[in-house]
Amino acid sequence: MKNVKSCSWVAENLNKVSVFDAGIVKPGMAGPYKPYAVVRGAGRFDISDALSDPKTQLSNMMCNAKQFQSHMRQLGVNQNDTVVLYDDSGLFSAARGWWMLKSMGFEHVFIMDGGLPEWLLHGFPVQQQHSTPNSMGNFTVIQGAGDWQFVERYEVLRTILDESSLLLDARSPLRFSGCEQEPRTGMRSGHIPNSKNLHYNALLTERGLLRSIGELQAQFRLLGCEGKALQFSCGSGVTACILALAADECGYTKLGVYDGSWNEWGNMQFCNELPIRCESGSNLK
Catalytic residues: 234
Alpha-helix residue ranges (DSSP H) falling in 17-131:
65-74, 94-103, 115-121
Please, is 103 exposed, middle or buried when counting C-beta atoms within 10 Å of its C-beta (0-12, 13-18, 19+)? Answer: buried
Q: What is the C-alpha to C-alpha distance for residues 80 and 16, in angstroms, rounded to an integer?
A: 11
Is there a cis peptide before residue 193, judged by omega within 30 degrees of 0?
no
Alpha-helix residue ranges (DSSP H) falling in the chain:
7-12, 65-74, 94-103, 115-121, 153-159, 173-177, 213-222, 240-249, 261-265
CB atoms within 10 A of CB 118: 21
